[in-house]
């Protein structure tokens, strides 16, 4: 099967391409990229006026399986990914059981093999049960193919354990993803700490509880020379600390999520639990710092932190509702709307944050449209406007913080390994 994607604006920063090109797919791989290609494709996709990019890589998602299949499964989560133009995800290990042993890694691998609709990479835990006490057997997990380690959802509180984990990870060349939160400071908090949490009578989560932990984790990274990736940066101080560390040569990359550069804490003023996540939405100043960090290149990656929850866990009192929002299906639209259409990033810049950089951090040969690479491709209409509707979600859950929002920039087709796996029409 040969598919020709005709006349699209091809964005491929790995090869410095931003031009009208044709792409010829032969079975699962990209055969050629060039102008005026016309050699006997079985099927032609007219991409005139559209943008053609590498399939997006979302390195921070919670697929909930095994354990919480009522929220999401690997099948539904990866289908949602396809709707969002995502062809590779990194699944976080806070499943039940946690991915903290070879056995559990094999368990999730078998579900992925049977049900995943895209490439699912697995992130292993740092500590047993993600309790921060006993290190997992990293070498064995590595053998089972895990792509990174993280105790996401929790920070490793003990600096000793984190030090050992990073040392080992460096030996094994596994990236460590840090969820930075000092729970002794944030405990009980449900939104950003400040005038608005006071106004709403809710317990707050300070910037400090995040950035102090970023600082600590980076100092351990510096000592161990381990590659670390800071997850979901939400506040100005964290951006600044990472920027400084990068200047000093610490091997650090970091990500933010679409809600941190599009929304502020004002969104929770009506106690909307679909705006409750951890870290919380911050002030306009923090949002602007995150935007600037993306524009400056301090923040390398946009990842959704897709965190599906059931209605019963969300349509309850704000204090009791679960943290987290879905994001796979909206991350492209939100990023296009708030970063590209505002002029903060060009399309190539967006492509780096959402495909190329995550691929490099995870050490996978993806995120490009080079001839010979996997034909993971997304075709988007850069100017199409659309409204986020529950009815359109493929995810099992509906806890999006962008419900009913109008976005500009829409995924038209998602091609995974040479097959059109999602089509908006």
Partner 1 sequence: MSEPVTWNKKDLLGLEYLSAQEIAFILDTADSFKEVTTREIKKVPALRGKTVVNLFYEPSTRTRISFELAAKRLSADVINIAAETSSIKKGETLIDTGRNIEALKADIIVMRHNYSGAANMLARHLNISVVNAGDGWHEHPTQALLDIFTLREKLGNIEGRSVTIVGDIAHSRVARSNIWGLTKLGAKVTVCAPRMLIPVGIEAMGVSVTNNIDEALKEADAVNVLRMQFERDEQGAFPKQMEYFKKFGITEERLRRAKPELIVMHPGPINRGIEMSSEVADCPQSVILDQVTNGIAVRMAALFLVSQARDIKNEDPH
Q: What are the residues binding partner 1 (CB under 8 A)? A: 193-202, 204, 270-271, 312, 315-320
Residue 259 near residue 279, CB atoms below 8 Å:
no
φ/ψ (deg, to 5) at 123: -100, 130
Query: What minimum distance in Å lies between the beta carbon of 272 and partner 1?
Result: 9
> Which is nearest to 291 in space by CA: 268, 258, 247, 331?
258
Using CB atoms within 10 A of its CB, is residue 179 exposed (0-12), middle (13-18) or buried (19+)?
buried
CB of 197 to partner 1, least distance (A): 7
35-38: which pairs have CB atoms within 8 A and are 24 or more residues apart? 37/4, 37/6, 38/4
* Cβ nearer to partner 1, comparing 83 with 212: 212
Nearer to partner 1, 34 or 188 (CB): 188
| Residue 424, SS3 per DSSP | coil
Distance (Å, whole) CA 136 – CA 138: 6
d(CA 267, CA 230): 25
- Going by C-alpha positions, the residue among 127, 155, 296 that lies closest to residue 213 is 155
User: If you ran DSSP here, which 8-state letter would residue 135 be given?
Assistant: B
Give 42 or 270: the residue with its C-beta nearer to partner 1. 270
**Taking the complex as a whole, how short is the minimal distance between the CB of residue 389 and partner 1, in angstroms?**
19
DSSP 152-168: TTS----HHHHHHHHHH
Task: Give 88's strand partners.
Answer: 57, 119
Q: Residue 74 or 321: which CB sits closer to partner 1?
A: 321
Q: Which of 262, 257, 261 is nearest to 323 (CA)?
A: 257
- Least distance to partner 1 from the beta carbon of 212, Å? 17
Nearest distance, CB of residue 393 and partner 1, angstroms: 21
Both tokens of residue 283? 């002030």
Residue 305 bears catalytic tag: yes
Pick the closest to residue 259 from 390, 382, 388 (CA basis): 388
- Tally of CA atoms within 13 A in the half-sphere of 87 that contains its CB: 29
User: Is residue 127 within 8 Å of 100, Cβ to Cβ?
Assistant: yes
Pairing type for strands 17-26 and 2-12 reads: antiparallel
CB of 405 to partner 1, least distance (A): 18
Residue 347 host element (H or E) = helix 347-351
Toward partner 1, which CB reaches closer, 163 or 271?
271
Locate 402 and state its tokens. Answer: 């962008």
Residue with smaller CB distance to partner 1, 118 or 193: 193
The single residue of 58, 152, 305, 381 carrying the catalytic annotation is 305
- Measured from the CB of residue 193, what is the shortest distance to partner 1 in angstroms? 6
Taking the least distance from each CB to partner 1, the nearer of 105 and 190 is: 190
Residues with catalytic roles: 305
């Amino acid at each position: 099967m040969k598919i020709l994607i005709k006349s699209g604006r091809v964005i491929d920063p790995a090869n410095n391409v931003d031009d009208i090109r044709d792409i010829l797919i032969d079975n699962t791989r990209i055969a050629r990229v060039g102008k005026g290609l016309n050699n006997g494709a079985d099927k032609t996709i007219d991409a005139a006026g559209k943008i053609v990019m590498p399939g997006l890589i979302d390195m921070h998602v919670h697929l909930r399986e095994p354990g919480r299949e009522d929220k999401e499964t690997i099948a539904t989560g990866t289908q949602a990914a396809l709707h969002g133009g995502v062809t590779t995800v990194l699944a976080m290990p806070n499943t039940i059981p946690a991915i903290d042993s070879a056995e559990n890694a094999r368990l999730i691998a078998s579900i992925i093999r049977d049900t995943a609709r895209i490439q699912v990479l697995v992130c292993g835990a740092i500590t047993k049960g993600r309790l921060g006490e006993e290190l997992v057997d990293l070498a064995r997990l590595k053998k089972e193919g895990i792509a990174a380690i993280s105790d996401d959802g929790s920070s490793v509180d003990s600096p000793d354990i984190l030090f050992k984990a990073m040392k080992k990870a460096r030996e094994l060349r596994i990236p460590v993803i840090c969820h930075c939160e000092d729970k002794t400071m944030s405990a009980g908090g449900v939104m950003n700490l400040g005038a608005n949490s006071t106004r709403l009578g809710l317990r707050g989560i300070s910037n400090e509880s995040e950035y102090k932990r970023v600082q600590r984790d980076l100092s351990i990274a510096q000592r161990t020379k381990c590659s670390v990736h800071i997850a979901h940066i939400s506040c100005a101080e964290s951006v600044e600390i990472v920027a400084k560390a990068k200047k000093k040569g610490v091997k650090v990359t970091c990500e933010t999520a679409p809600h941190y550069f599009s929304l502020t804490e004002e969104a929770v003023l009506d106690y909307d639990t679909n705006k409750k996540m951890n870290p919380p939405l911050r002030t306009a100043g923090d949002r602007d710092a995150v935007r600037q960090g993306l524009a400056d290149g301090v923040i390398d990656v946009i990842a959704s932190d897709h965190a599906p929850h059931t209605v019963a866990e969300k349509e309850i009192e704000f204090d009791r509702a679960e943290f987290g929002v879905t994001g796979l299906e909206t991350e492209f639209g939100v990023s296009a709307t708030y970063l590209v259409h505002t002029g903060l990033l060009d399309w190539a810049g967006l492509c780096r944050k959402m495909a190329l950089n995550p691929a490099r951090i995870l050490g996978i040969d993806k995120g490009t449209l080079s001839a010979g690479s996997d034909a993971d491709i997304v075709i988007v209409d850069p100017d199409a406007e659309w409204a986020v509707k529950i009815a359109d979600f493929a995810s099992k859950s509906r806890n999006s913080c962008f419900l009913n929002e109008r976005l500009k920039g829409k995924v038209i087709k998602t091609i995974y390994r040479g097959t059109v796996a999602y089509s908006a029409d």
